[in-house]
C-alpha cells in the first residue's frame, strides 16, 4: 500500500508540474486535446545512458505524427522508492524524424544509477500519451571540468574549499555533498557518496575523519585535515578546519598540509573577482 500511495502521489505531482510545459506544446495546435493509450512504443535502449551527455531515445507512434515531447526525470533512492528530481525542470525536447515516420529525442541524464524517465508525447491530432521507462545511467565518457563540495546539502553551484567544525554536539559532524561540473551542461550534476572516492590525505593528529560510504565528516581533535574527493579522473581538495569554536571564524586554509604543486580550489566569491559595475546617478 505504501508503494502504491507513493507512486500515486508522484504521478499527481508530475502531472501538475508538467502542466505548464505541456500546455505550451499544446497551445501550438488547434486540435482538441485528449489522452490516448497504446500509440507510443519506446525502442529498447542498449546498455546504459551516459551521464551528462546527449542520448538518443527512439519513439514509434504507429504512423501518428509526433508534435512535441516533454521529459520529466525521477530517480530511485537507496530504499528503492522513486523520487522526483526537484532541481531539474521538465523540458521540451527537440525531435528528429526518420523516413519511416518514427521520431527520436535526445535526453541528457543528470543522475547516476537507476532513473525513471517520463515522456509526455503530444500528437498533431491533439492526442497526448504518457510513457514511463526505467533506465540505467553510467559514467560519462568525458571527465568533468571540476568538482564542487557543498556541506550540509546547500546550493551545489557554490563551492566550499574550507569547512569549519568544532567539538561541540552542534558542529562536530557534517555531511558533504559532491557535484560534478560538465561542459555544456547548465547545472552541476549531484553525486552520491558511493559515486565518488573520499580520502583524508593529511591530518594533524587525526583532526577529522570521513565515512566514505555516507560522506559524513566527524571532528576528532582541534587541528586541520585535508580531504581529497575524486570522480571521473578529476580530484578536488577540501580543508577541514576543526576549531575550538566554529563561531569565531575560519582560521586556516590547510596551507601547511597541501601537497607540492596543489592548492585549494577557489570559493564561490573567488570564481569571478570582477567587481560589479558602478552605476552613476543621473543629474536632474
The angle formed by the CA atoms of residues 192, 239 and 227, to the nearest 5 degrees, is 45
Give 2-138's CATH code, choosing from 3.40.50.740, 3.20.20.80, 3.30.200.210, 2.60.40.10.
2.60.40.10
98-146 pLDDT tens trace: 887 789 999 999 999 999 999 999 999 999 999 999 999 999 999 999 9
Identical fold at 2-138 and 146-267? Answer: yes
Of 120, 102, 117, nearest to 49 (Cα)?
A: 117
- Residue reference for cell 566550499: 160
Per-residue confidence (pLDDT) for residue 284, from 0 to 100: 41
CA gap 118, 42 in Å, rounded: 11
In tens, the pLDDT along 145-166 reads 999 999 987 777 788 999 999 9
pLDDT at 29 over 60: no
Per-residue cell: 130: 504518457
- Model confidence at 48: pLDDT above 90: yes
Instruction: Kindly indicate whether the domain formed by 146-267 is annotated with CATH number 3.90.226.10.
Output: no
CA atoms within 13 A on the CB side of 249: 1
Mean pLDDT over each residue of the chain, to the nearest integer:
85
Q: Which sequence spans correspond to the domains of the chain?
A: 2-138, 146-267
Segment 238-254 mean pLDDT: 90
Residue 5 confidence (pLDDT): 41
Reported confidence tier of residue 279, pLDDT bands at 50, 70, 90: very low
Higher pLDDT, 7 or 239: 239
Cα gap 63→61, rounded to integer Å:
6
User: Cell numbers of 1, please?
Assistant: 500500500
- Containing 194, the helix (H) or strand (E) segment is none
Amino acid at each position: 500500500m505504501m508503494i502504491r500511495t507513493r507512486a500515486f502521489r508522484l504521478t499527481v505531482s508530475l502531472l501538475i508540474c508538467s502542466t505548464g510545459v505541456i500546455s505550451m506544446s499544446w497551445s501550438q495546435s488547434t486540435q482538441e486535446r485528449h489522452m490516448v493509450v497504446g500509440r507510443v512504443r519506446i525502442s529498447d535502449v542498449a546498455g546504459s545512458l551516459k551521464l551528462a551527455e546527449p542520448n538518443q531515445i527512439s519513439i514509434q507512434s504507429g504512423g501518428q505524427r509526433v508534435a512535441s515531447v516533454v521529459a520529466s526525470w525521477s530517480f530511485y533512492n537507496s530504499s528503492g522508492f522513486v523520487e522526483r528530481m526537484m532541481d531539474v525542470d521538465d523540458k521540451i525536447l527537440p525531435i528528429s524524424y526518420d523516413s519511416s515516420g518514427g521520431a527520436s529525442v535526445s535526453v541528457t541524464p543528470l543522475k547516476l544509477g537507476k532513473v525513471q524517465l517520463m515522456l509526455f508525447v503530444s500528437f498533431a491530432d491533439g492526442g497526448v500519451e504518457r510513457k514511463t521507462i526505467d533506465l540505467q545511467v553510467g559514467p560519462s565518457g568525458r571527465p568533468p571540468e571540476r568538482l564542487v563540495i557543498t556541506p550540509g546539502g546547500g546550493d551545489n553551484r557554490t563551492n566550499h574549499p574550507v569547512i569549519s567544525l568544532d567539538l561541540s554536539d552542534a558542529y562536530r559532524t557534517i555531511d558533504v555533498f559532491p557535484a560534478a561540473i560538465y561542459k555544456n551542461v547548465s547545472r552541476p550534476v549531484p553525486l552520491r557518496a558511493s559515486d565518488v572516492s573520499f580520502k583524508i590525505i593529511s591530518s594533524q593528529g587525526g583532526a577529522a575523519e570521513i565515512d566514505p560510504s555516507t560522506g559524513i565528516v566527524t571532528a576528532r581533535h582541534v587541528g586541520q585535515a585535508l580531504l581529497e574527493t575524486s570522480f571521473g579522473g578529476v580530484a578536488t581538495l577540501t580543508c577541514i578546519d576543526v576549531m575550538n569554536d566554529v563561531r569565531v571564524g575560519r582560521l586556516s586554509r590547510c596551507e601547511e598540509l597541501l601537497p607540492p604543486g596543489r592548492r585549494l580550489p577557489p570559493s564561490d566569491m573567488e570564481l569571478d573577482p570582477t567587481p560589479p559595475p558602478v552605476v552613476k546617478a543621473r543629474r536632474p
